[in-house]
Amino acid sequence: MEIETVTDNQKLRVAKKIEKMFGHIDPKLPPEMCPIRDIMALASDKWSILILLYLGYFPTLRFNRLKKKVYGISSKILSERLKTLEADGYILRKMYPEVPIRVEYNLTDFGHSYLQKLLDLTEWVQKYSETILANRSKFAK
Amino acid sequence: MEIETVTDNQKLRVAKKIEKMFGHIDPKLPPEMCPIRDIMALASDKWSILILLYLGYFPTLRFNRLKKKVYGISSKILSERLKTLEADGYILRKMYPEVPIRVEYNLTDFGHSYLQKLLDLTEWVQKYSETILANRSKFAK
DNA sequence: CGGCATCCGAGTAGATACTG
DNA sequence: CAGTATCTACTCGGATGCCG
């Protein structure tokens, strides 16, 4: 898997984006100016990513069904993540007070919008996962 | 900040991407089939992201300079992350055996390629960070 | 200068049990 | 069914000190 050479022009564009993102990048500002860190922390959490992916695939999922999909997650963590994802506006929680109770989760449009960006990244990761794994074993020697 | 409505068509495309990514998504396969989790874990780590951003902005940085940029990081974590990022092929470490020693880090083309994808995501996050923060406080009530 | 070794504290996740 | 409560285990990060 070959990586195309990165042109100086591309590097320049990237630098400009970063500069814009950080405002002024040089000053030794503390990270408080940067809610992005905080938001990315959730958005890039391993469980959250999987939850979003599954909700992107299945239009709606109930708690226990989702739990089975997100292999290995505990009830505690799942409900915790769901709550945070809901609070941030990525997903919607609908409760039906039946007996037994039924709760359904699905992505909001906002969550879908985010998922699309996230997918671009995970697709890149998947595309080059073998390269990375190969790099690792080469480095280990 | 308005989120555009997501069309069914878009949702379908997303679902297809996810399906492709997971192979068959339905079976209860353990996550071992999925090195993506592992790779994403590094690639989405909060410190790693900042390191990559700074190395994307400054063509080359020495250890202590980088440490000052990545506000709040400890030597231990920085060197740890740098090692892993190097192992995965994102960055390059050049050592000059002077006295005192000089070590320079810079992105590889591979790292640059990844950074571009990462930036797309962080830009989205920044664009909607106010929305998310607003969602949170609304939810808190 | 660029780390690594060591220790330590806090937070986080997992297991288990329980409930509206 | 959809969680919560509790307890424990353990990882991770921070601080400090040292060294080539």
Which of B3, B70, B85 should one mutate to test binding to chain A, selecting the residue with the greatest count of A CBs within 10 A? B3
**Burial B103-135, CB ≥16 within 10 A → b, else e:** bbbbbbbbbbbbbbbbbbbbbbbbebbeebeeb
As a whole number of angstroms, the distance between CA A54 and CA A81 comes to 14
Fold of the domain built from segment(s) B8-129: Arc Repressor Mutant, subunit A (1.10.10)
Residue B88: closest CA among B64, B62, B115: B115
Helix (H) and strand (E) counts in chain B: 7, 3
The verdict on a CB contact (< 8 Å) between B113 and A124 is: yes
- Residues from chain A that touch B128, judged by Cβ atoms under 8 A, are 110, 114
**Average pLDDT value for residue range B115-139:** 90
- Identity of residue A36: I
- Residues from chain B that touch A106, judged by Cβ atoms under 8 A, are none
Q: What is the pLDDT of residue A66?
A: 95
As a whole number of angstroms, the distance between CA B75 and CA B64 comes to 9
Nearest CA in chain B to A120: B117
Residue A55: closest CA among A94, A20, A19, A8: A94
Provide the CA A101 to C1' D5 distance, Å, integer: 20
- What are the tens digits of pLDDT across the range B68-125? 988 889 999 999 999 999 999 999 999 999 999 999 999 999 999 999 998 998 889 8
**Average pLDDT value for residue range B49-74:** 93
Whether B61 has a pLDDT exceeding 90, the answer reads yes
Residue A40: closest CA among B102, B120, B61, B22: B120
Assess A5–B contact: CB distance below 8 Å, yes or no.
yes
